[in-house]
A = this chain, B = another copy of it.
Amino acid sequence: MRNFGIVIHGGAGNILRETLPPALESQYRRKLSEAVSAGYALLEQGGNSLDAVIASIMVLEDSPLFNAGKGAVLNAAGACELDASVMNGRTLEAGAVAGLHHIRNPIRLARDIMEKSAHVMMVGDGAEIFARGLGYEIVPNEYFQTAFRQRQLAEAKRLEQERAQGPRPTPAGSERVTFVTVDDNHFLRETIFGTVGAAALDGQGNLAAGTSTGGMTNKQFGRVGDSPIIGAGTYADNATAAVSCTGHGEYFIRAGVAHAVCSLMEYQGLTLGEAAATAIRKVNKLGGTGGLIAIDAKGNVALPFSTAGMYRGYRTARQSEVIEIFGNAR
């Protein structure tokens, strides 16, 4: 039997066993497991990798635990602004959206742009007009907003102001990394790139990958990270691998991480694990951190990250479900 399987992430960051309360950890594990199962069930029934990726990501978008869809972080203007992308490794077709405010599941719209428009990427109001034309429900931005993210934004703004007023000179370049959210609370304190994503191989040997995010807390209105950038946050090619990234997006764009994993396999003959680790090292070398999940045409998975933890999980026809949160990247 051909192997098949799915690998997912719910964001990388400074996620520590010491600061994640057990009850919350259980919630994360249950939801990650639900997302793996949603995609895996489709694959097991002979479904395709693209459907599996969408199904897994929608579970994570609909959960307030993750920074995508409901529960996304707030931008500097106090709104949720959502990006997503998807790629079909069989056809190299791709779809992406950025700057959405009213679409419940951005990953669905990314897929519809791939399959029902002449374009790959649509942003802002134009993307939402296209969605209306397809009969999408338009939800108020408040649907996405949660009290936790509002506190997180308030803390980020407080910190920003403290820094602006502080007498201590900041080291050169440090003002360019303003995404850290700090608080006396265990959890607000963490630097978490809570993007979600999935990559799957189906029984026909076809790969697909997708990514969805609310971006960075307190980001400037209009900022786009790597998640909707084909080649940076998402890439899939049957010849090599399907990849979804999470991390400080600016560095992932500059290193072209998702495409780099595939290029390292195709042009340098690296294994999936080697290529994935090499790509994350490129991000580190530029000064960024984050992680990625990937699956290749044989069903091998890789989940490297350079942060303390990454919400992640996978299941293949040959490997029962694995859900992990803390360090020791595979």
Spell out A's residues near B (CB within 8 Å). Answer: 87, 92-94, 98-99, 117-127, 129-130, 175-179, 219-225, 229-232, 235, 249-250, 253-256, 259-260, 263-264, 267-268, 286
User: How many angstroms between the C-alpha atoms of A45 and B213 in the bound complex?
Assistant: 45
CB proximity of A265 to chain B, nearest CB, Å: 9
Interface centre among A93, A178, A235, A256, by most chain B C-beta atoms within 10 angstroms, is A256
User: How many angstroms between the C-alpha atoms of A175 and B117 in the bound complex?
Assistant: 9
User: How many angstroms between the C-alpha atoms of A255 and B264 in the bound complex?
Assistant: 15
Q: Indicate if the CB atoms of B253 and A123 lie closer than 8 Å.
A: no
CB proximity of A164 to chain B, nearest CB, Å: 14
Q: Indicate if the CB atoms of A221 and B129 lie closer than 8 Å.
A: yes
Contacts of A127 in B (CB 8 A): 222
Known: A125-B222, A127-B222, A230-B253. 10 other contacts (CB 8 A): A93-B254, A120-B253, A124-B124, A124-B125, A126-B221, A126-B223, A230-B232, A231-B253, A256-B259, A264-B267
Q: Indicate if the CB atoms of B99 and A123 lie closer than 8 Å.
A: yes
The 7 closest A-B pairs by CB, nearest first: A126-B222, A267-B267, A126-B221, A263-B263, A267-B268, A231-B256, A231-B231
Evaluate whether A130 and B235 lie within 8 angstroms (CB atoms) in the complex, with A253-B121, A259-B259 already known: no
User: How many angstroms between the C-alpha atoms of A130 and B263 in the bound complex?
Assistant: 35
Contacts of A123 in B (CB 8 A): 98-99, 123-124, 222, 224
Contacts of A98 in B (CB 8 A): 123, 224
Q: Indicate if the CB atoms of A117 and B220 lie closer than 8 Å.
A: yes
Contacts of A121 in B (CB 8 A): 223-225, 229, 253
User: How many angstroms between the C-alpha atoms of A122 and B259 in the bound complex?
Assistant: 21
The answer, among B124, B232, B286, for a CB contact under 8 Å with A92, is B286
Closest chain B residue, CB of each to CB of A219: B119
Q: Indicate if the CB atoms of A130 and B222 lie closer than 8 Å.
A: yes
Q: Indicate if the CB atoms of A120 and B268 lie closer than 8 Å.
A: no
CB proximity of A180 to chain B, nearest CB, Å: 11
Interface pairs (19), CB distance under 8 Å? A92-B254, A94-B254, A98-B224, A117-B176, A118-B176, A119-B220, A119-B223, A120-B253, A121-B225, A121-B229, A122-B224, A123-B224, A124-B222, A126-B221, A127-B222, A129-B222, A231-B259, A267-B267, A267-B268
Contacts of A256 in B (CB 8 A): 230-231, 235, 256, 259
User: How many angstroms between the C-alpha atoms of A127 and B98 in the bound complex?
Assistant: 13
User: How many angstroms between the C-alpha atoms of A123 and B177 in the bound complex?
Assistant: 20
Contacts of A231 in B (CB 8 A): 229, 231-232, 253, 256, 259
User: How many angstroms between the C-alpha atoms of A166 and B225 in the bound complex?
Assistant: 42
Interface centre among A179, A219, A230, by most chain B C-beta atoms within 10 angstroms, is A230
User: How many angstroms between the C-alpha atoms of A289 and B176 in the bound complex?
Assistant: 38
Closest chain B residue, CB of each to CB of A226: B120
Closest chain B residue, CB of each to CB of A77: B126
User: How many angstroms between the C-alpha atoms of A176 and B94 in the bound complex?
Assistant: 13
CB proximity of A195 to chain B, nearest CB, Å: 15
Q: Indicate if the CB atoms of B122 and A223 lie closer than 8 Å.
A: yes
Contacts of A130 in B (CB 8 A): 220, 222
